[in-house]
Amino acid sequence: MTNDIILETRDLTKHYGGVHALQGANFTLRKGEHVAIMGDNGAGKSTFVRQITGVEQRTRGDVIFDGKPVHFENPMDARNAGIETVFQTLALADQLDVPDNLFLGRELVKFKLGPFSILDYKAMRERTMGALEKTGVKIPNIRGTIERMSGGQRQCVAIARTATFHSKLTIMDEPTAALGVQETAQVENIIRTLKEAGEPLILISHNMRQVMDLCDRIVVFRRGRICANLDIKNNDITGEDVVAYITGAKTQPEYADAA
Amino acid sequence: MSETSHGIGGLSFDAKKRAWPNEMNVFIALIAIIVIFEILGQVLPYMKGQSLLFDFNTNRDGTILNMVRLKIIILQVSIIGIIAIGSTQVIISGGIDLSPGSIVGLTAMVAMSFAQTALVNGNPNPKAIFGEAWMDLPVIVPIVVAIAVGTFAGLVNGLLVAYTRIPPFIATLGMMVAARGAAKWWSKGQPISFPTEPFGAIGNGMSGWSPVVIFIGLAILFHFILKYTVYGKHTYAIGSNEDAARMSGIKVDRHKVLVYTIAGILAGLSALVLASKNLTAQAGMGVMYELDAIAMTVIGGVSLAGGRGSIVGTVLGALIFGVIISGFTYLRLDAYYQEMVKGVIIVAAVVLDQWRRQRAAARA
Ligand SMILES: Nc1ncnc2c1ncn2[C@@H]1O[C@H](COP(=O)(O)OP(=O)(O)OP(=O)(O)O)[C@@H](O)[C@H]1O
Ligand SMILES: [Mg+2]
């Protein structure tokens, strides 16, 4: 049973000085599973993601990814290991175009020469077009710079970036927070594509309908602790139940110390 | 601008289409400034219909261009232009470098010390720095020394900027002061002169065009590097959004060290050409060059906020700079006006850049 677990955290904890942003998080994710993380603002959701993806170094605890304990030094390490992340603050370079951003930090090169390796623009453009087609993202002109795009288009570029590269795990931190109806639908389609491809996902979202539609399970964070683990596919759990856990009206017995 | 892009199955994209390049605007500005000078030449009574760039009457070399003035325009911006190639990269990466002028002074002094000839008109070199054993060295020695001094100074800048929290403005200001001090200390303020013949050829060869050739050659090289290599892409990415660059796995600190080191090397090369051209080195060489170099880049459309600009723009910016200086001489205006107008142009270019950025931000 253990070998179908793609990600596990044990006692994952992060303190910022006196701020206990994340406390003893025990979390598991199975291969192919789509799990939502919910919780109020400041509950520690993004902090949890940052400890897994090497953006920050954890105070204590273990992260076991794909069967091995890991300790990523930086986001690139995590990405090389197969974790693709859409961060809450978009990691896009405004003055660069779509292919540049998709391949930022992992450019395709024609000719290797250390930092002076020659870029393969054509291959990057073609793969970008492929990725956009695959994900159904509409961008009028991929060679326009990001700064000329709407917030929704930017978000789509950031998400297309994670979908371009085959990954063992995708993490999205509030990917549709700033999006209109159509763009949200596009992003949700990308997420369904991932589900069909059997790629596991951690989705942080405040959107109850979206989470209910897309995910197998909801993990609720409250004040830095996990307070519920809800199997929404197999149990009859309503939005009101989830809200009760988020606000603290309810706590699952096994997480009683989190209350 | 992309109304005509074609759609495939509801998707519309167009791989070919590019926005109107900003360099085009700079080029138009260059032409406009030339036209203004030409018109003034025709209109101002005391100019008696003279032309800035053309030479209709005395067609000495078979062209209608005034080759003498054209050469002066390009030559006078070449040496600072070499520095500006480095400044362009630093500014695109979101930094600033105030030290190249002083690095020029220091490098010129040190390199010239290894370029001296033992006998001047049969007499011992009156400005000798080292003993005879260190004279009449092959020209490669001062070249390597110049590159080494530039590399060292640039490396220190880069390490300070990348690994301490000192803002680039302050870190390179420190280098500006320190390198100038080192240049004065090197020979206790004495000029160093009388280089070997091959050394003199670096800045005077090819019938005086060699600074231009070196400038343009380096510009082409770095244009290619910025546009077509990973180094270039990461330089833009860091200037555009440093956090995004870091999150994307770019080794931002290491990259900055490289950018400032390259700027230092270019300042060293500029010093080499300058010392050779003048056949002497003085501790005061290169004062304020960094500001002229920054002005060229800003006029050429490089954004002081980072992420935007190009070597082509900077070369055009350098030409605008050169045309204005020559234009003022040609209109027989005082040098004071030159300085003042230079100041106005720099501020205007920065205002223009800010305005452009605000418009881009408003669109988003
Ligand atoms: N770098 C930091 N230094 C100090 N405190 C921090 C830092 N980052 C986050 N925090 C604190 O940690 C707590 C958790 O923050 P986090 O960003 O994980 O919240 P979140 O659950 O993602 O909220 P949101 O839904 O608003 O995105 C907050 O109280 C926040 O103020
Ligand atoms: Mg968050």
B134-179 pLDDT tens trace: 889 999 999 999 999 999 999 999 999 999 979 999 999 999 999 9
ipTM over 0.95: no
pLDDT at B20: 76
Q: Do B244 and A95 touch (CB under 8 A)?
A: no
Name chain B contacts of A105, Cβ cutoff 8 Å.
245, 248-250
| pLDDT at residue B17 tops 60 | no
Q: Do A74 and B249 touch (CB under 8 A)?
A: yes
Higher pLDDT, A11 or A239: A11
B296 touches chain A (CB under 8 A): no
B175-215 pLDDT tens trace: 999 999 999 999 998 999 999 999 999 999 999 999 999 99
Indicate the average pLDDT of chain A.
89
A203 alpha-carbon distance from chain centroid: 6
**pLDDT-derived band at B61, boundaries 50, 70, 90:** low
| pLDDT at residue B11 tops 50 | no
Nearest-CA distance from A203 to chain B in Å?
Answer: 19
Share of chain A above pLDDT 70, in %: 98
A89 touches chain B (CB under 8 A): yes
**CA-proximal residue: ligand 1, atom 8 (nearest):** A47
pLDDT at A258: 56
A44-58 pLDDT tens trace: 999 999 999 998 999
Mutate to test the interface with B, among A87, A95, A156 (most CBs of B within 10 A): A95
Locate the domains of chain A by residue range: 2-258
**CA-proximal residue: ligand 1, atom 6 (nearest):** A16
| Pairwise CA distance, residues A97 & A88, whole Å | 20
What is the CA(A257)–ligand 2 centre distance, in A? Answer: 23
> What residues flank ligand 1, with Cβ below 6 Å?
A 16, 19, 21, 39, 41-47, 88
Buried-state track B181-213, b at ≥16 Cβ within 10 A, e below 16: ebbbebbeeebbbbbbebbbebbbbeeeebbbe
Least confident of A171-175, B345-349, B357-361: B357-361
Mean predicted confidence (pLDDT) in A105-129: 93
Mutate to test the interface with A, among B4, B12, B13 (most CBs of A within 10 A): B13
Tell me A2's DSSP state: G
A144-189 pLDDT tens trace: 888 888 877 888 888 888 877 778 999 999 988 878 888 888 889 8
| Pairwise CA distance, residues B239 & B178, whole Å | 27
Q: Are A238 and A232 in contact (CB under 8 A)?
A: no
Which fold does the domain B22-363 belong to in CATH? Answer: ABC transporter involved in vitamin B12 uptake, BtuC (1.10.3470)
What is the length of chain A?
Answer: 259
- The H or E element containing residue A20 is strand A19-30
Contacts (Cβ under 8 Å, ≥6 apart) of B168: B90, B95, B96, B97, B157, B161
B197 touches chain A (CB under 8 A): no
pLDDT at A65: 95
CATH number 3.40.50.300 is the correct assignment for the domain at A2-258: yes
**CA-proximal residue: ligand 1, atom 5 (nearest):** A16
For B358, name the nearest residue in chain A, comparing CA atoms only: A147
Name chain A contacts of B249, Cβ cutoff 8 Å.
74-76, 79, 105-106
Nearest-CA distance from B94 to chain A in Å?
Answer: 12
Q: Which range scores top for mean pLDDT: A105-114, B123-132, B338-347?
A: A105-114
pLDDT at B6: 35
**CA-proximal residue: ligand 1, atom 22 (nearest):** A46
pLDDT at A163: 76
Q: Are A232 and A215 in contact (CB under 8 A)?
A: yes
Tell me A56's DSSP state: S
**DSSP E strand boundaries for B180-312:** 192-193, 280-281
